[in-house]
C-alpha cells in the first residue's frame, strides 16, 4: 500500500486566502483555477438562459422549477466568487464550450417543438438535465480536487452546490415521471 507524504504548508499565502493549501504541483492548482473559471462562465450564462427556458415551458410546475433554479444559480455564482476569494484569485469567467453547446442544443429543442405542448416540456426537461449532469460532474470533480489540494473551505462550498444540482436534477426527473412524459405520449396518440 503506497504511503502518502504529509501535506506541506505553503510559506506564503496569496492575498486573503484564509486556509492553508498543500504544495501540490502548481500546474494542478492552475488547472483547478482554470476549471473554476469555466464553471463560473457556465453559471453566469445560465442566469441569462434560464428565464428563456422558463418562458418556453408549458406547465406551471416546470416553469416554477426552472425559476426556482434560476435563484439557486444566482447563489451558485456568488459562491464561486467566494471560491475565487478563498483562492486569492480575481473572479474571472472563461468560456465553457461544453455548456455553450448544451445551451445551444436546448435552444434548438425549443425552436423545433410546438409552443404549449408537453413534447416541448419533455425537450426542456431533457435539455435541463443535460445541464444538471454537466454541473454535477464538474462540481463533483472540483470538490474532490479541492480536497486533494487541501482546500477544505472550497471543497465545502463546491459540495454544497453539488448537492443542490443533484436536487434540481431529481426534481426534473420527478416532473417528467409524474406527468410531462405521459402528457407528451398522449399528444402523440391523439
- CA dihedral sign, ordered 124, 134, 91, 87: positive
Position 138 pLDDT exceeds 90 = yes
CB 172 within 8 A of CB 128: yes
Q: Is the whole-model pTM more than 0.75?
A: yes
The full DSSP string for 140-161 is HHHHHHHHHTT-HHHHHHHHHH
Check residue 25 and give its pLDDT. 83
Check if the beta carbon of residue 155 is closer than 8 Å to that of residue 87: no
The C-alpha cell at 108 is 434548438
Which pLDDT does position 107 carry in this prediction? 96
pLDDT at residue number 5: 41
Q: Which of 48, 135, 162, 42 is nearest to 93 (CA)?
A: 42
Per-residue model confidence as pLDDT tens digits over 49-95: 999 999 999 999 999 999 999 999 999 999 999 999 999 999 999 99
Q: Which CATH topology does 26-189 take?
A: Ferritin (1.20.1260)
Reported as a pLDDT band with limits 50, 70 and 90, residue 23 is low
C-alpha cell read off for 70: 434560476
Is the pLDDT at 162 greater than 80? The verdict is: yes
Report yes or no: 27 and 60 within 8 Å, Cβ to Cβ.
no
pLDDT (0 to 100) of residue 15: 41
Residues 104-108: contacts with CB within 8 Å, 24+ apart? 105/130, 106/49, 106/53, 106/130, 106/131, 107/52
Mean pLDDT across the chain: 90
Other Cβ atoms closer than 10 A to 108: 12
More confident residue, 154 or 4: 154
Per-residue pLDDT tens digits for 27-37:
999 999 999 99
Number of H helices, E strands in the chain: 6, 0
Amino acid at each position: 500500500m503506497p504511503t502518502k507524504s504529509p501535506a506541506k504548508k505553503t510559506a506564503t499565502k496569496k492575498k486573503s486566502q484564509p486556509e492553508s493549501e498543500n504544495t501540490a504541483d502548481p500546474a494542478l492548482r492552475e488547472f483547478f483555477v482554470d476549471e473554476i473559471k469555466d464553471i463560473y462562465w457556465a453559471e453566469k450564462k445560465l442566469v441569462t438562459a434560464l428565464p428563456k427556458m422558463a418562458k418556453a415551458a408549458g406547465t406551471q410546475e416546470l416553469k416554477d422549477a426552472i425559476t426556482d433554479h434560476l435563484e439557486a444559480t444566482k447563489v451558485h455564482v456568488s459562491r464561486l466568487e467566494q471560491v475565487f476569494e478563498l483562492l486569492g484569485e480575481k473572479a474571472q469567467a472563461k468560456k465553457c464550450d461544453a455548456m455553450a453547446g448544451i445551451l445551444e442544443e436546448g435552444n434548438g429543442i425549443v425552436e423545433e417543438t410546438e409552443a404549449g405542448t408537453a413534447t416541448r416540456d419533455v425537450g426542456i426537461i431533457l435539455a435541463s438535465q443535460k445541464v444538471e449532469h454537466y454541473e454535477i460532474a464538474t462540481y463533483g470533480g472540483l470538490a474532490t480536487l479541492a480536497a486533494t489540494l487541501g482546500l477544505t473551505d472550497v471543497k465545502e462550498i463546491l459540495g454544497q452546490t453539488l448537492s443542490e444540482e443533484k436536487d434540481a436534477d431529481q426534481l426534473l426527473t420527478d416532473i417528467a415521471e409524474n406527468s410531462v412524459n405521459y402528457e407528451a405520449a398522449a399528444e402523440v396518440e391523439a
